[in-house]
Structure 1
Amino acid sequence: MKLAYALPLAGVAAFGTVLGASAVQAETLTVATVNNNDMVIMQRLSSAFEEAHPDIDLEWVVLEENVLRQRLTTDIATNGGQFDVMTIGTYEAPIWAEREWLAPLENLPESYNQKDLLKPVMDGLSHDGKPYALPFYGESSMMYYRTDLFEQAGIEMTDQPTWKEVREWAGKINDPDKGIAGICLRGKPGWGENMAFVTTLVNTYGGRWFNMDWEPEIDSESWNEAINFYVDLLNNYGPPGASSNGFNENLALFSQGKCGMWVDATSAAGKLYNPSESNVADKLGFAPAPVAETPKGSHWLWSWALAIPASSNSKDAAKEFITWATSQDYVEMVGEKVGWTSVPPGTRESTYTNEKYQEAAPFADFVLDAIRDADPTDSTLKPSPYTGVQIVGIPEFQSIGTQVGQMIAAALTGEMSVDQALSNSQRATQRTMERAGYIK
């Protein structure tokens, strides 16, 4: 908290001079967020919040996804108190809430209209029935493709594409001489980067992270088939340096027309359909995330949300900001000032009944259905002991997912074979689960 004082001074008053006796108090909120497009817009529009709240100043810390997660986890686990507002997701919210690292977000103002928030998204941000984060945007995953390239190649999109079809299509539209990759997929290592996509791929190949006894199954036949397919697909038809590409890098490539297909977050649709930000806005098609052996777990459920760490000394001001940034009024402001394709998706029923949004965003109903259809409690072909589609809802997954993600990236670059990557991942995860007491 930063305080600026203007107090009467007794000595000066004795000479008949009186200085201002009013005290002006300015409270500084430190907001940590990810460098995704929607959050960049939030930062740009936040001057409206400061104008309406002259007693609150905002200080921004905007970081790349992997760096943000590392900084926030370290700070909150050590009660560091560096941040007043944290951008977290459906993985962290319930785990950190259980450890009493987050302040509950209860007794919200009636004008906030909490019932308008999408239930699947809010369920993932709650613990014991209480919300511990409010969704800034929500998403599932889907497939984007270039309709012009499909037409030129004589390809007709199916109602439910399969990964086998995707490989065939990638081969037909791949054109390195023109700088066009057949497909772009996440390769950058991280539990929330490459492993978010890879886990959905493994799910649909019939795999799972753990059996019902919490024993890892990373060296299983399903994992082997999925990862061999992934490595082969990207090495043959992916862009150069695929192992360095996460969500933002692939979004930039696709919007520049350098990818024929891309399977990733539904939240990218708004930017891709915006002609001022995308070179492919007029030739963009979309379809459900592809499947292999099963549709289960083929598309994820995620929300980037705003939360208050228990260590913050400015909880009331932080709550004021969070309710502003996730409100229906904020959605309206983005629509009017930036464009309706740019409003934060996947959080409010009212967004999807708004005629302006429906008109501007042909993908709106498709995305809403994908979010509602994703089931974190039933995402694998065989029963699993965990909750999560692209994540495993246990505290250890952050380190497990990142470690396995590094092994998968090494297989993608050819530093090791797929068999070696999965064998190393299996052993490392087994050790972690034994130390944590999941396996006796």
Structure 2
Amino acid sequence: MSEETRQRKSWLDGFMAYPLPAGLDEEVARRNIVLLDQKLYQLWSLGENLIYAWTPSEHGLEVLLAPHALLTEFTERAPGGAERMRRATMLETLLAQQEHLSAEAFQATARELELKPLHVALPFSPSDGLGLRLVAAIVERYGIRLVEDRAVILLDAVGFSLLTPLEQVVQLSSLSCSVNAAYAKLLDREININFARTTTGDGFYIWNRMRGMAANVELYQLLQFILADNALARERATRKGTVPRLRACFHVGSHYEFYQSEGLNPTSFSYLVGQVTIELARMIERALPGQILVGKFYTAMRDADDEMLMVDSKDFVDCTRAPLQALNGLALGGSEIDEIACYLTGQRDTAFGGSYGINEYEIQDKHGLLHRVYNAKINIHRRHGEPIYLGLREDDLAGFHARIVNG
């Protein structure tokens, strides 16, 4: 496969990031993806219906299908407050399901939602003809999922609203180019991040379609290379204002993921809405030009052994350091990388040998709500080039409207 073919992807290629069953030919897998997608498309009925749950059978799937309105009607028709809360919790648990339900749980859910299961006939076994994780990813295009453990980036161009429309287009094009360049750098080291993005008007939300600790670490690596490419582009720019100055936020939190209709098809990329996007929007409002903020989180993430572990913001940044060593030697701006150092900032503690602590900040948004964040720094040292310093030092935060809440 040529380099160009490897990097230019269709909606089909996005699904090929999932592991295939042993011995399954890629071309056979592609045909099976298209066949399953066509079957689900017919049930989707131009966006009228959603798939709420599914379970595999020997030659197909059993699915629970209903209009969007069930999302609210199921709780609204509850006879009392306690029952409404129980139903809301049950629905959230169902939407948070990453993969299929067992046959017993599927039948119980069908009774609870008062839905009759539908059979989707296939000429192959889902587990052997695609793999259940891949089937789950395809089914998700036709439903709504509640995600608790995915990291999301928000990039914002400073002073964007003051630019002319033509200048805005130029800056967004530059930012898009930096995103693509960062992705290409990671591809060079076989880090095939399956990322998605959606515009905010003056920037982008970016996330990894894959989930888990490794996927979130890859997203943090992508953020570092986006900011580095942007910094180099700003240095090379011959005309002021053609490359945006950025501020960036990184956070992990809950959100709903869904696929809008585009013409007569569901979009090939998802949209996010929920607590994590709200938190990021509030964080970016207070971020200084050039600043990198990491939101405070404590979330269960799946590790490489498929085990769930609880991870907080400090643990996460610590866990990103070892994978960064694999990027040493990668060329950036014509010079090879010797080291990438990423850390959360704080004041020097003279009582403990002059080591640096980590400051936790509290910011207040325009609605009076409080949010906890950390200030992040990324230093990229190059063998034959000047270091690239990303983010702001503690000494640079005089204009940061936040208070330290350590302890």
* Alignment TM-score > 0.5, same fold: no
TM-score by length of 1: 0.22
Which structure dedicates a bigger proportion of its chain to strand?
2
